[in-house]
Amino acid sequence: TPAPLAEARPAPANPREVAEALASDLATRKFDQAWARLDDEFQKGFSAQKLGDQFDPMSADLGAFKQVIVTREEEGPGGAKKIFVTCEYERAGLPLMVVVDQSLRVSGLRPVTPKREQLQQAAREFVELMAASQWAKLVERFDGTMRKALTEEKLAAIVGQLKSERGEFRQILSMRSKRGYVDVDHAFEKSNAVIRVAFDQQLRVNGLHFREGWNTPGYVTPKSFTEKEVQIGTEKLPLPATLTVPSGKGPFPAVVLVHGSGPNDRDESSGPNKIFKDLAWGLASRGVAVLRFEKRTEQYRGKLQDEDIPTAKEESIDDTVTAVDLLLKTANIDPRRIIVAGHSLGAELAPRIAQADPRVHAIVLLAGPTRSEGQIKLDQTRYLVGPWGVSKEEAEKLIREAEQIAARLDSPDLKPDEVVDGIAGQYWLDLRDHAGKLVAPQLKIPILVLQGERDYLVTMVDFEGWKKALQGKPNATFKSYPGLNHHFMFGKGPSVPKEYEELNHVPEQVVEDIAAWVRSH
């Protein structure tokens, strides 16, 4: 007698069931079946083999698969549904986001990365265990590859060497997370170090690195100022900030530091370097108070809605105005000498901030762009294909793509809802229509324009653009520095991206120049 046929599983009847079925297919390694659930566009970019190649490493070492749980649903683009599921295994869960269109085909799929708070909490716990020499508990947090590469004995030896050079663990100074890793700035007995802890989607440690941390520059006198934690921003989106005030009665001139593009912390950290902390401590050592704050896109990374940052006004300008508000209410601050100092994008926005807030007495522009957004994108790509070390064919492809993006960014018919380079046209149009080089000539207040001559992101072409825009303006002062890069740090030869990962400081001369200019105005 023939064996009875297995009962056919009914076809999914709604987006939730589609997501459950897809996740189950992936977890049970039925990649052909999972691939068949993808929509036509998705299938063009993914074979069943490729689907398996990407999923297998994520689920390795998790143990036996148990079940799929749907955790929540959200509305997606064009009537699609975002279904969040967790593939539960013996040792941990693997969270996924599945986008299901109206025809019940899968149009999007990605692992759900841990939130910043989760990453930083996991990193804090890991470093605290390290400080307590809890080697067995540390290794328990490793993924399979790390367990094989780094035994308890090896880990103890590495940390022992670190302590022999720097002394005992003292305290965590700050943390910042990006792309699945956390850089923990840690104070040791003798000097500081950065401990980089990398995590997978299940918050298992899959990377661990130690490197030199930010240490106080020689031109800083720590006993000559004090710092306190304050808050700026809006009621909906408050922002932590640090106010550095010189010792003494005052009143002191005060500088608000405005970040460059992208998510930035209050120190404008890059690798082990902290541009804004160098400036804050250096200026405060010379009688100038400084307020620096977490940028909105950093503090609320992954949580902002489109209406929270449609343009640079909401992204930076509005928050800077609240920083000015705070300074005007602070004892020992001279309300007649509030200065806004912007770096990169922040420098381009500084004239707009001064235009929006007449309480701003002066502005400092550090590496501010004057070229169009499209030209900047294209010029940077042409420069970077060399340091990136890509093939000639790949370089040509990248440049062609940059040319296409540049053409749209600078197009006279760019639409507000057109997405270019991952950002809505509304944002680009706002920068174009209110470019700093157009606003600055209208200002009567003192303007200081500074530029590093080795900068490939904002170049001497931009510096000359400021000179042209402010030609004949007695309120404008210009200075460029040989050997300095975009972060106003010294190097030799052509500037390359990897130098931003090498410990450095803003030179004393830059700090002295800003302090002297502020005091004289």
Cβ 447 vs Cβ 470: under 8 Å? yes
Q: Which of 185, 319, 455, 462 is catalytic?
A: 455
Q: Examine the residue annotation and report whether 344 is marked as an active-site residue of this protein.
A: yes
Strands 252-258 and 192-199: unpaired
Using the CB atoms, write b or e for 132-163: b if 16+ within 10 Å.
eeebeebbebbbeebbeebeeeebeeebeebb
Q: What does the alpha-carbon distance between residue 147 and residue 412 come to, in Å, rounded to a whole number?
A: 56
Clarify whether 357 is annotated catalytic. Answer: no
DSSP 434: T
161, containing H or E segment: helix 152-166
Please name which of 357, 363, 282 lies closest in space to residue 326, comparing C-alpha atoms.
Answer: 357
Are 486 and 384 in contact, with CB atoms under 8 Å apart? no
Q: How far is Cα 129 from Cα 287, in angstroms, rounded to an integer?
A: 41
Strand segments (E) across 213-332? 225-233, 238-246, 252-258, 269-270, 273-274, 289-293
486, 487, 495, 505: which one is catalytic? 486
Q: Please name the residues in contact with 299: beta carbons below 8 A apart, sequence gap of 6 or more.
A: 237, 239, 240
**Catalytic residue (one of 267, 344, 361, 430):** 344
Report the alpha-carbon distance of residue 275 to residue 259 in Å, rounded.
Answer: 10
Q: Which residues of 414-444 are buried (b: 16+ CB within 10 A; e: fewer)?
A: beeeeebbeebbbbbbbbbebbbbebbeebe
Residue 74: how many CB atoms within 10 A of its CB?
11
Enumerate the active-site residues.
Answer: 344, 455, 486
